[in-house]
Chains A and B, each alone.
Chain A
């Protein structure tokens, strides 16, 4: 019997190695797998590369992970937030590496990784400093730059419902990066608000099929708050 549901945070986090590339779902606080990020803080892996849209708020979650000196590099589109103090302090002190990626390119790089596409051409960033050093190609009269897939060793995802095969649904704008993080990661770890029996989620409503998911932890924390 396949059962991807794990009973403890320790089981959810097992095997995450130093130097891992970790992809995070979430856009602001909505759909952000906060419990799993806290689990990663306790788990102890270091020298991480973290890719997600934002670079943490205040001194909790991702910001706390950075503050503890565990993140070597952050790949994101928008490091500013209502309180980006941790990131900005580390960045100014040269203690964290930053790769800024246009938001759509970030999303597409994850989808490409999940789809087995090693790189792709895009018009986004052409003629800007994002294009410096990248391969340019003219296709049908328009210039594009080459962007590479962004694969995760670990993906942390927040879902609304999950079953033991790892089929997932999301709630409203909580979907955001989560389905593509699930596709793009070798080991996808999910925190889900609700657990469902196999067959209970209408197949027409499954957004992330279980093939993209490795572990599911039940975390019924309620509604997101704070950005």
Chain B
């Protein structure tokens, strides 16, 4: 897909993307953050705003990353990074942990994705029907089970192909699940009429954004 002449704009950094998502998470929500950039969101939620972070491996109430000399070798998250447990946190086994997900108890999950379609379909676990060894982990449970699914990802692939598409070409993680997307170029909602643009990177025009997006974009109504 040809990209229109580039205007002078500044994409959001990953930190800014994480900050945008963090700003939209209110106190009291139970939230699962996917492996990768979504994990960074926790760094931008102040500790006195009580958001309870969940990890698939049975940890509820994850706190800030541990200092190097205070690592607890039995305490990891789903990305197998060392974490801490804040006061009020708890442990449970895997079936209870996924009951929190599948039973609709999580207010929010934020995942990375390869593609999101303007009907909310998400593809984030395999890039081919014949993946050598596909690894789904908990992505399908989270996408189908959390009350809200947001996506945090780059707006296009490294070679410039759109990731916000009319129809996912990669194997689906879940149909019609995504409600909001934070990219390095924009924040968008998935609505009945498709993608609505809530915010754009400084200096980027609506036309510039559309040129980098396969599906049709809408101004908020």
Which residues of chain A have a CB within 8 Å of any CB of chain B? 27-28, 30-31, 53, 55, 77-80, 84, 87-88, 91-92, 98, 100-105, 107-108, 110-111, 122-130, 170-180, 207, 223-225, 227
Contact = CB atoms under 8 A, between A and B. Distances in A.
A55 B132 CA distance: 14
B73 A124 contact: no
Nearest to A172: B74
Given A28-B76, A207-B93, A223-B74, A78 B135 contact: yes
Contacts of B172: 127-129
A183 to B, nearest CB: 9
Contact of A172 (B72, B78, B101): B72
A211 to B, nearest CB: 16
A91 B138 contact: no
A100 B138 contact: no
B130 to A, nearest CB: 11
Given A124-B144, A125-B144, A174 B74 contact: yes
19 contacts: A27-B94, A77-B135, A80-B135, A84-B133, A88-B132, A102-B138, A103-B136, A104-B98, A104-B102, A107-B98, A108-B98, A128-B173, A129-B171, A173-B59, A173-B75, A175-B92, A176-B58, A180-B95, A207-B93
Interface string B90-134: 011111011001100000000000000000000000000100111
B131 to A, nearest CB: 9
Contacts, number: 140
Contacts of A124: 102, 140-141, 144-145
Please indicate which of the listed interface residues B59, B74, B140, B144 has the most CB atoms of chain A within 10 Å of its own CB: B140
5 shortest interchain CB distances as A-B pairs: A104-B98, A104-B141, A127-B175, A172-B74, A223-B73
Contacts of B59: 172-173
B87 to A, nearest CB: 15
Given A124-B141, A171-B74, A173-B91, A80 B133 contact: yes
A128 B176 CA distance: 11
Nearest to B56: A103
B135 A123 contact: no
Contacts of B91: 170, 172-173, 175
A159 to B, nearest CB: 12
B28 interface: no
